[in-house]
Amino acid sequence: MKFLRVFPAMRFFFLVSLCLSISPVRAETVMFRADSMTGSSGKGGDYARLTGNASITTESVEIFADSIELSGKGYRYIKATGNVSGTNIKEKIDFTCAEMHYDRELKLSSMQDTVHLVDRANDAVANAQLMEYDEKSGAVVMQISVAMQQKDNVCTGSYAIYNTKTRKLFLSGNPQIVQGTDTFRAQEIVLDLNTNEVTLDGRVRGAVKRENE
């Protein structure tokens, strides 16, 4: 087993090329920065811990945090904690949270504690306590104190699934959508962000105001 330790006084920059045997056969460049680092490699997999002003950049994501851990074969898994922020470069999605887990092979992100997400491609902003994002399908699963705004749509609930590719939002858990002066409530609500069409199901209620012509 190899062991590497970089002391805090030695600020550094690493450039590493990795090839995952379980991924398509091509290398991915991974760049690291931090005030200090400890790490090891062996048959059980690779491990590195970046501490203090830590950051990591791959072809898919850029992540900043107080601390970042990389583990698994070829540093497949990333765990970021403390003042986490970053960007999904390809999908133009920015995020902040307290803790994040990312699977570089499956392109799956899990974020928790005051998660804030900005979908710049669709002009949408979302907040929740828990979020899971599947980059391949475009699905964002949001739980607890969900609030999302897209242009004139203000959407709230306790559970939501938002698809960044199809631009559709599913809400449940006392959901509500406000469109200007109109309010919609039901057990489940689906909003098509392409057309602004709202579909309500179960205990439907609301208020619609129209100006006199």
Give pLDDT tens digits for 32-72.
899 999 988 777 678 999 999 999 998 889 999 999 999 99
Which band of pLDDT confidence, cut at 50, 70 and 90, is reported for residue 8? very low
Contacts of 163 (CB under 8 A, 6+ apart): 137, 138, 139, 140, 169
Coil, strand or helix at 172: strand
pLDDT at 2 over 80: no
pLDDT at 80 over 50: yes
pLDDT at 18 over 60: no
Both tokens of residue 127?
Answer: 């907040």
Give the DSSP letter string of 30-63: EEEEESEEEEEEETTEEEEEEEEEEEEE-SSEEE
- Span 180-202, average pLDDT: 94
Nearest partner of 79 among 43, 44, 112, 126, judged by Cα: 112
- Span 158-172, average pLDDT: 97
CA distance 155 to 173: 12
CA distance 104 to 71: 11
pLDDT at 117 over 60: yes
What is the reported pLDDT for 40? 83
Tell me the pairing of strands 168-172 and 176-179.
unpaired
Residue with tokens 């960044």: 164
Q: What is the mean pLDDT of the chain?
A: 86
pTM of the model: 0.82
pLDDT at 113 over 70: yes
What is the reported pLDDT for 7? 37
Which band of pLDDT confidence, cut at 50, 70 and 90, is reported for residue 208? confident
Segment among 23-27, 106-110, 152-156, 184-188 with least mean pLDDT: 23-27
Q: How many CB atoms lie within 10 A of CB 17?
A: 8
Coil, strand or helix at 175: coil
